[in-house]
Structure 1
Amino acid sequence: MAKNKSHDGAGPTQRQLRVGETIRRALSDVLARGDVHDPDLNRMSITVGEVRTSNDLKVATAYVLPLGGIGQDDVLKILARNKYELRRQVAKKLTLKFSPELRFQLDRTFDQMDETRRMLAQDVVRRDADAPDEEAPET
């Protein structure tokens, strides 16, 4: 007998991942085609890196980044200004019973990757990484 348990922070469910990816593709398509009639939005090339949904699928947070990182301050304002039209356009492409509310945040993935590369390039870290593992048994 399956129990109806709440999501306890163990990561997104398969359904959340599937719906998030479907929304990501639909939103990317809407933005690429310029389906929203806002010249400020249509002038920007925006990458949608990921979409995360709430447990109940009523809220979808899109992690976005303008091409080249230029205009990061403006992109969130422009997307927020057009969120209802974006939601309507995305809903046309979905097969969900309800269209989730769209929220937007800057995608910091590339910043985190750059910081990781910077840390790994430090002499102290490279020396520790290259040092032989003293606890490993010899074979």
Structure 2
Amino acid sequence: MAKNRFHDGPGPSQRQLRVGELIRRTLSDVLARGDVHDPDLNRLSITVGEVRTSPDLRVATAYVLPLGGQGQDTVLDLLHRNRGELRHIVSKKLTLKFAPELRFKLDETFDQMDDTRRMLSQDEVRRDVEK
């Protein structure tokens, strides 16, 4: 297999981004419709913010957040418990050579944005930015 000579940096390739977005949309649809056979998981509203894939597309890490941010550990446990079924559903809906192994992590981008806003609202920082 030839290496992508344009992708020597740390960022993902266009293919990784495209497949990650397809998996994100599919997972979002599956979780929104309640297609999983676990009633505990179907009761929850879960946002899939991003999916990052490994360079070989065999591992997909989904960054998720429950609605309202409550019960994060429970959501991760339920997703982990149902990852085999979710993997099967994703592989049926997508035409990939391999069904990617699904991993789930909490999406912390909202917390990071809040921290950034808080930092930018500080008097010292605002004064430095205005200079």
Same fold (TM over 0.5): yes
- Post-superposition offset of 1:95: 1.1
In structure 2, give the amino acid aligned to 1:103: R
| Cα separation, 2, equivalents of 1:84 and 1:8 | 33
The residue aligned with 2:3 is: 4
The residue aligned with 1:134 is: none
Structure 1 runs of 4+ off > 4 angstroms?
A: 5-9
- Post-superposition offset of 1:8: 4.3
1:11-65 CA deviation, whole Å, 9 max, x = no partner? 0000000000000000101101101011110110000000000010000000000
- Post-superposition offset of 1:4: 2.6
Unaligned runs of 5+ in 1: 132-139
The residue aligned with 1:54 is: 54
- Post-superposition offset of 1:130: 1.1
Report the identity percentage: 77
CA RMSD of aligned residues (A): 1.3
The residue aligned with 1:129 is: 129
Equivalent residues in 2 for 1:63-82 (5 A)?
63-82=63-82
Total equivalences in the alignment? 129
Unaligned runs of 5+ in 2: none
SS of equivalent residue, structure 1 residue 62: strand
SS of equivalent residue, structure 1 residue 76: helix
1:52-91 CA deviation, whole Å, 9 max, x = no partner? 0001000000000000101111111000000000001111
The residue aligned with 1:120 is: 120
SS of equivalent residue, structure 1 residue 35: coil
In structure 2, give the amino acid aligned to 1:38: D
Greater shift after overlay, 91-100 or 115-124?
91-100
- Post-superposition offset of 1:128: 0.6
